[in-house]
């Protein structure tokens, strides 16, 4: 078995961070602010469960920011 480059806690932290980023990015366009905050938390929970969807959202937002 090959040595792992990073620890399990590092991968867990990146997994959670990606979910929070995707949740925030998904809720950015929602107005008013209080609804945006609630939806951001709900979306982050969704992306914690379905991580591949969260990766796609973050990748898409990153690609848009690079082209602008």
Helices vs. strands in the chain: H and E counts, helices first: 3, 0
Q: Please give the pLDDT value at position 56.
A: 97
Q: With bands split at pLDDT 50, 70 and 90, how would you rate the model's confidence at 66?
A: confident
In this prediction, residues 7-36 reach a mean pLDDT of 96
Q: pTM to 2 decimals? A: 0.85
**Using omega within 30 degrees of 0 as the cis cutoff, is the peptide bond preceding 4 cis?**
no
Residue 30: in which H helix or E strand, if any? none
**What is the distance between the terminal CA atoms of the chain, rounded to a whole angstrom?**
43
Residues 6+ apart with CB under 8 A from 13: none
Task: Please check the confidence at residue 1 and state whether its pLDDT lies above 80.
Answer: no
Q: With bands split at pLDDT 50, 70 and 90, how would you rate the model's confidence at 67?
A: confident
Quick one: DSSP state of residue 13?
Answer: H
Q: Please give the pLDDT value at position 3.
A: 66
In this prediction, residues 12-22 reach a mean pLDDT of 96
């Amino acid at each position: 078995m090959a040595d792992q480059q990073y620890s399990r806690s590092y991968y867990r932290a990146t997994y959670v961070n990606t979910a929070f980023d995707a949740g925030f990015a998904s809720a950015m366009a929602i107005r008013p602010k209080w609804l945006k905050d609630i939806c951001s938390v709900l979306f982050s929970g969704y992306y914690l469960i379905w991580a591949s969807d969260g990766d796609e959202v973050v990748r898409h937002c990153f690609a848009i920011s690079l082209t602008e």
